[in-house]
A and B are shown apart, each in its own frame.
Chain A
Amino acid sequence: NAGVTQTPKFQVLKTGQSMTLQCAQDMNHEYMSWYRQDPGMGLRLIHYSVGAGITDQGEVPNGYNVSRSTTEDFPLRLLSAAPSQTSVYFCASSDGQFWGELFFGEGSRLTVL
C-alpha cells in the first residue's frame, strides 16, 4: 500500500534551473495539495486541486506551477528556481468526504544554490 509517493527525496539546484517534483497517490483521492515547510514557519499551502483538471492557488503560489491531468498525479513545477525556494516540500491527498484529514508523502528536500 504505497499511499502518497514523492520523488525525488533530495535535490540540489542552481539558481535559474527548472525542475518538477513528482507526487502520486494510489488511494483514488480527489483532493491533492502541495505544502512547503520552512523553519519556524510551519506548513504553508502552495497549490491544491479538488479533482482532475481543477487547480487553485494556496497561500504561497508564486514561483510554482501545477497541473492535474489524472486523479493519481499532481506534479509541482519550479520554472526558475530561487534560493528562497530552498525548503522541504510535502504532497498530500485526501478523500473528498473528509478532505481535511490529509495523507502526506515523506517529503522532498530541495536546496537552491
Chain B
Amino acid sequence: DQQVKQNSPSLSVQEGRISILNCDYTNSMFDYFLWYKKYPAEGPTFLISISSIKDKNEDGRFTVFLNKSAKHLSLHIVPSQPGDSAVYFCAAKGSNYKLTFGKGTLLTVNP
C-alpha cells in the first residue's frame, strides 16, 4: 500500500514559467514532509521541507505548500530554469525513524 503518491511520472515546462509538482499521502501520522532532487547518476539531495504544523515554507525559488485536510503537498518552482530538470521525490516522516518516499516526478524545463 503506497502511503506517499506522486501521480505524475513526468512534467514538462518552459523556462521562466512555474513548475508545480504534486504529492498525496494517506498516513495522517506523518508529521514532516520533504522534497529531494535527483540528477542522473547522482544521489538525491535535500531541497526543502515543511512541518505538519505549517502550511507553507519558502526558500528562494522553491515553495512547498501543505494542505493537511486534503493530505496533499505541492512544490512550486518559480521561475523554472533548465538546471532544475531532474527527478523530484516527495518524502514523509512518521513517528518512527522511517522516511517514506514517493516514486518521483521527472521535471523537464525546456529553454
Contact = CB atoms under 8 A, between A and B. Distances in A.
Interface of A: 4, 31, 33, 35, 40-45, 48, 50, 56, 58-59, 90, 92, 99-107
B65 interface: no
Interface in B90-108: 91, 93, 97-104
A56 B97 contact: yes
A11 B67 CA distance: 43
Contacts of B46: 101-103
B34 interface: yes
Contacts of A4: 43
Interface of B: 6, 9, 32, 34, 36, 41-46, 49, 89, 91, 93, 97-104
Contact of B99 (A56, A100, A103): A100
Contacts, number: 56
B99 A40 contact: no
A104 B43 contact: yes
Contacts of B89: 42-43
B97 A50 contact: yes
12 contacts: A33-B99, A42-B6, A42-B101, A45-B99, A45-B100, A59-B100, A100-B49, A101-B34, A102-B46, A102-B99, A106-B42, A107-B43
